[in-house]
């Protein structure tokens, strides 16, 4: 890069004096999204580990009964 192109790039990075705010905000947003993805991944792994039995197969799950409201029970 020649000097004028480098200066133009640095001016673009500075964003008119707001570069630290802009780039800091983008970095914080990326960090929050990354931490959310990692937390979801850990939660998924924990749920899979909880659902698998000692043999590695899925543990048997009791069938769910439908919820009956009091107005449905009367009729």
- On whether residue 45 sits in a domain, the answer given is yes
Domain of residue 39: give its range. Answer: 1-51
> What average pLDDT score do residues 2-22 get?
88
- On whether residue 11 sits in a domain, the answer given is yes
pLDDT 10s digits, 18-49? 989 999 999 999 999 999 999 999 999 888 88
Specify the pLDDT at position 53.
58
- On whether residue 58 sits in a domain, the answer given is no
- On whether residue 27 sits in a domain, the answer given is yes
Annotate 19-36 with b (16+ C-beta within 10 A) or e (fewer): eeeeeeeeeeeeeeeeee
Alpha-helical runs (H) found in 52-63 = none
- On whether residue 63 sits in a domain, the answer given is no
pTM value is 0.59
What is the spatial distance between Cα 72 and Cα 62, in angstroms, rounded to a whole number? 24
Question: How many domains in the chain?
Answer: 1
């Amino acid at each position: 890069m020649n000097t004028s192109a480098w200066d133009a790039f640095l001016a673009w990075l500075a964003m008119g004096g707001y570069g630290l705010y802009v780039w800091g905000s983008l970095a914080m947003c990326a960090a929050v999204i990354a931490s959310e993805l990692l937390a979801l991944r850990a939660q998924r792994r924990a749920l899979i580990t909880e659902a698998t039995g000692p043999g590695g197969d899925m543990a048997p799950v009791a069938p769910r009964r439908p919820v009956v409201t009091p107005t449905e029970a009367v009729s």
